[in-house]
Structure 1
Amino acid sequence: MSQQFPPTGQPQPGHGYPPPPQPKKSSVGKIIGFGCLGIVGLFVLLAIAGALIGGGKEDKTAKDPAVPSAAASSAPAKAPESKPAEPEKKAAVAVVAKPAEFKKTVLAQGDGYTSVSVTVTNNSSKPINVNPLYFAITDTNGTKHNAELGVDKDQIGTVELAPGENVTGAITGKGSWTAKSVTYTDGLIGDSVRADVS
């Protein structure tokens, strides 16, 4: 009986040498998963960018059925029809703006600020948020001014208004100028409501 020996140079498994490593499996599933996640992420970013661009240009007067369009105003006027009077529909959010005296806080650097007193009323059926950062003031030269935080003692509060509630406070911009209008945006990218300062 002859004894068989392994060929020279090849040790038997289990005699001092570890077994050969397993070949690595390619992670095709991970690559496809990350690729799909990247595509979904791209679509989400595009949707957010579109909402920011499209939402900022919207003006509430364009949606208001009480404001006639340019085409309607050029048409000849019709005789009023005899219909029962319908109650006037209120805007979902009403903004009233008046000039106000700047009341300096310790955070104000100097007296070079302009304040506007603003009242926001929620006429909708859903709560809305009010925040000083949701306002911009346009001066008589057409320049927009962002709200400066904490510089006026009467600054409008950061609140959630339930349907029917209102809040009044100051919106303040840096510099001395004459305010023409105030624009409120419900959430930084929501619908905009503009009110003339009177």
Structure 2
Amino acid sequence: MAQHNPGPQYQQQWGPGRPQQPMPPVPRKKSGAGRIIGFGCLGVIAFFVVIGVIGAALGAGGDESAEKPAAPAAPKEPGGGEKKDKGEEKPREEPEEEAPAPIQVTAEAADFRPTILADGEEYTSVLVTVVNNSAEKVGVNPLYFEVTAADGSKYDVELAADERQIDTVELTEGEKVTGTVTVKGKIEPKTVTFTDGLFGDSIRADVG
């Protein structure tokens, strides 16, 4: 007698040794990985934007507060000192001319020209010039002179021995007089000394 196989049936029986009824598929929750990736990209972009804003602010502040570059050091001269700019060089001051002395005396060797009063002995003459640069009058007389020889000997002037003897005059400001002073003997004159008024200041001139 044939057996009827009703086909596979699901037995809803539970217990040991019996197969369990398969569980219906559980719907899978949507993964949060996509959300995390999306938020991560936005965070990176926002981070760089913030960094850029901060960097721009710092750069603007740094430009204003940056120190100016130091001026280049002035080039040094060969001697070791710093070379000054031409614009800083001060113009050279011309030395002031010294005011002339109140009385100027010059002397130079001259030949002797005897007068009829010369006694035939040897004489030495010196040609002198006296200039008055002061406002006061200056008296000139042959007796106001003295001649010093190269050996240091001093000689008084012999009057009327040389025909070009210096005159006895009184010089006002700016005036001068030239003439000879003569001493007895053949000497090598070194200096001539003029004394203003015999007892005034003495002025010495080398014989040229």
Question: Aligning the two structures, in what range does the TM-score lie when normalised by the shorter sequence?
Answer: 0.5 to 0.7
Shift of 1:85: 2.6
Counterpart residue number, 2:204: 194
In the alignment, which of 164, 169, 172 is matched to residue 159 of structure 1? 169
| Contact 1:104 1:111 (8 Å CA) reproduced | no
Residue segments in structure 2 that go unaligned for 5+ positions in a row: 1-91
Aligned partner of 2:129 among 119, 131, 134: 119
1:143 corresponding residue in structure 2? 153
Q: TM-score, normalised by structure 1?
A: 0.57
Give matches, 1:2-13, under 5 Å.
none
Which residue number corresponds to residue 71 of structure 1? none
Using the TM superposition, give the Cα deviation of residue 111 of structure 1 relative to its aligned residue in structure 2, in angstroms.
Answer: 3.7
The equivalent residue for 2:144 is 134
Aligned with 2:203: secondary structure? strand
Q: Deviations 1:23-43 (Å, cap 9, x if unpaired)? A: xxxxxxxxxxxxxxxxxxxxx
How far apart are 1:84 and its partner, in Å?
A: 5.0
Normalising to structure 2: TM-score of the pair?
0.55
Q: Partners of 1:181 and 1:158 in 2: how far apart?
A: 21
Deviation of 1:132 after TM superposition, in Å, equals 0.1
1:93·1:122 contact (CA, 8 Å) conserved in 2?
yes
Across the two proteins, how many residue pairs are aligned to each other?
117
Query: How far 1:87 sits from its partner (Å)?
Result: 2.0
Percent of pairs with identical residues: 52
SS in 1 for 2:108: strand
On the 8 A contact 1:119/1:167 being kept in 2, the answer is yes
- How far, CA to CA, are the matches of 2:150 and 2:94 in structure 1? 41
Shift of 1:131: 0.1
- Residue in structure 1 matched with residue 95 of structure 2 by the alignment: 85
Q: Measure, in 2, the Cα distance between the counterparts of 1:155 and 1:118.
A: 10
User: Is 1:170 paired with 2:180?
Assistant: yes
Q: Distance in 1 between matches of 2:96 and 2:168?
A: 36
Letter of the 1:92 counterpart: P
Aligned-partner SS, 1:182: strand
Q: Is the 8 A contact 1:120 1:167 kept in 2?
A: yes
Distance in 1 of aligned mates of 2:182 and 2:94:
45
- Alpha-carbon distance in structure 2 between the residues aligned to 1:149 and 1:157: 11
Q: 1: CA distance between counterparts of 2:119 and 2:143?
A: 19
> 1:110 corresponds to which residue?
120
SS in 2 for 1:133: helix
